[in-house]
Structure 1
Amino acid sequence: MDAPLATRIDTIFVPARDTEGAAAWYARLFGMTEIFRSAGYIGLRFAGGDPKSTALTLIPAERVDPDAHVAFNFFSPDPEALREALIADGREVTEIHDQGAMRWFDFVDPAGNRVNVCSFAEDA
């Protein structure tokens, strides 16, 4: 069998009107620690956990609508190959976006859900 094109669910996205307050709440109740902060986005992971474990990213939102955001993303070491495989499967796929050290794209699964794929240096 060929190597998998995605290797884990990387991030669960949670919209929040107050990402600072939400981050403090997750830290207090679940012992999560901040792993990154950028443009209002705050990434959290369980304290002492594996640095490759699934993270929770709080995303700034004017209002919270559970149907209006990507619920999770896959990490892929080769986003181009995964994107091509999704296109070959007939999926609706966006272009690959570069955002500094991260590259990402979205696709629509067969059930109509928007799913994200990200890629970045694993030692980052």
Structure 2
Amino acid sequence: MSLFSKMDTIILRVADIKAAKKWYEEVLEFTSSYESNGDHAIVIFPIGNGPSITLYEWQHDESHSPASSSYPIFFAENIEEVHTKLTSRGVETSELQKDGSTTFFTFYDLNGNKLEVCYWS
């Protein structure tokens, strides 16, 4: 038995919480469930029944470089439509790729955080 009952959230660090929140709402069509604008501003976006995405505004005295080895992967049954929609919204995306029964592509948010979308059957 695992020590944990579920994955709660995935943190993505951002430079400007307001700009990032707007990008995730407008580009990815997310709806926030919680916001905090204190010293450590965060915005939480629930994603289906899985873990949420939490945007965390880093402090100006903290260093940050977007992660390239760890990143969230979203699942979409209509992956071609999602790819087309993100591309049309000016999002930097890779080409659709196939690996056996899995189709996927990567894209980046306005802070350079790597994200991925996959579909498998």
Question: What TM-score do you get using the length of structure 2 for normalisation?
Answer: 0.46
Question: What TM-score do you get using the length of structure 1 for normalisation?
Answer: 0.45
Of structures 1 and 2, the one with the larger relative CO (CA 8 A, separation 6+) is: 1
Larger relative strand fraction: 1
